[in-house]
Amino acid sequence: MTDAVDALCSRHHYPDALRSVLYGVADACREAYPGLMSLVLSGSATTGDYVYLADSGAPEGVRLLSDLDLMLFTDQQGAQPALLAERLQDIKARHPSPLFDIDIAFSPASALDQIPPRFQMAETRRTGVVIAGRDVIDRFPLEFDHREAVAPFLGNLWKPFLYWTPAGGAFDIEYQQMVARLFLDVPMLVCGARRECIPGHRARADSYLAEGSREGLYDEALRERVRWAIDVRGEPSIERAGLESSVGEFARQVIAALDGEPLPQPEADAALVARLGKLLAKRPLRRLAAELRCVVRDPRTPVGDLAWWWGRKEAAAGAALLGMLAHLGEIDGRADAFDPPQGVRARLAEYARLPAVERASDESPLDFLFRCKRIYQAGLLALFPSLEKADPRQQVFLEPPG
Q: Is the pLDDT at 364 greater than 70, yes or no?
A: yes
Tens-place pLDDT, residues 97-144:
889 999 999 999 999 999 989 999 999 999 999 999 999 999 999 999
Which residues does residue 107 pair with via DSSP β-bridges, in sequence order? 73
Residue 269: the pLDDT is 83
Which residues does residue 130 pair with via DSSP β-bridges, in sequence order? 40
For residues 393 and 364, the answer to whether their CB atoms sit within 8 Å is no
**Rounded average pLDDT over 216-245:** 94
Residue 191: the pLDDT is 93
Question: 23: phi > 0 → left, psi -120 to 50 → alpha, else beta; which?
Answer: alpha
| pTM score, whole prediction | 0.92
- Per the model's pLDDT, the better-predicted residue between 105 and 264 turns out to be 105
Amino acid code (one letter) for 118: R
Residue 266: the pLDDT is 65
**Rounded average pLDDT over 251-268:** 85
In sequence order, the 6+-apart residues with CB closer than 8 A to the CB of 249 are 221, 329
Residue 268: the pLDDT is 73
Residue 389: the pLDDT is 57
DSSP 171: T
Name the band, by pLDDT with cuts 50, 70 and 90, for residue 358. Answer: very high
**Rounded average pLDDT over 175-190:** 96
Give percent of the chain with pLDDT exceeding 70. Answer: 97
Q: How many residues does the chain have?
A: 402
Tens-place pLDDT, residues 317-342:
999 999 999 999 999 999 999 999 99
Residue 103: the pLDDT is 93
**Rounded average pLDDT over 388-394:** 64
Q: Is the pLDDT at 199 greater than 80, yes or no?
A: yes
Residue 394: the pLDDT is 77
**Could you please report the per-residue DSSP string of 307-358?**
HHHHS-HHHHHHHHHHHHHHHHHHTTT-GGG----HHHHHHHHHHHT-S---
Tens-place pLDDT, residues 286-323:
888 888 888 888 898 888 888 888 888 999 999 999 99
Tens-place pLDDT, residues 52-106:
998 888 878 899 999 999 999 998 788 899 999 999 999 999 998 889 999 999 9
Q: Is the pLDDT at 15 greater than 70, yes or no?
A: yes
**Rounded average pLDDT over 236-255:** 93
Give percent of the chain with pLDDT exceeding 90. Answer: 72
Q: Is the pLDDT at 251 greater than 60, yes or no?
A: yes
**Rounded average pLDDT over 179-183:** 97
Residue 261: the pLDDT is 87
Residue 294: the pLDDT is 86
Q: What domains are defined for the chain?
A: 2-144 (3.30.460.10), 147-395 (no CATH)
Helix (H) or strand (E) holding 296: helix 285-297
Q: What is the end-to-end Cα distance of the chain in Å, rounded?
A: 45
Q: Is the pLDDT at 196 greater than 90, yes or no?
A: yes
**Rounded average pLDDT over 249-259:** 93
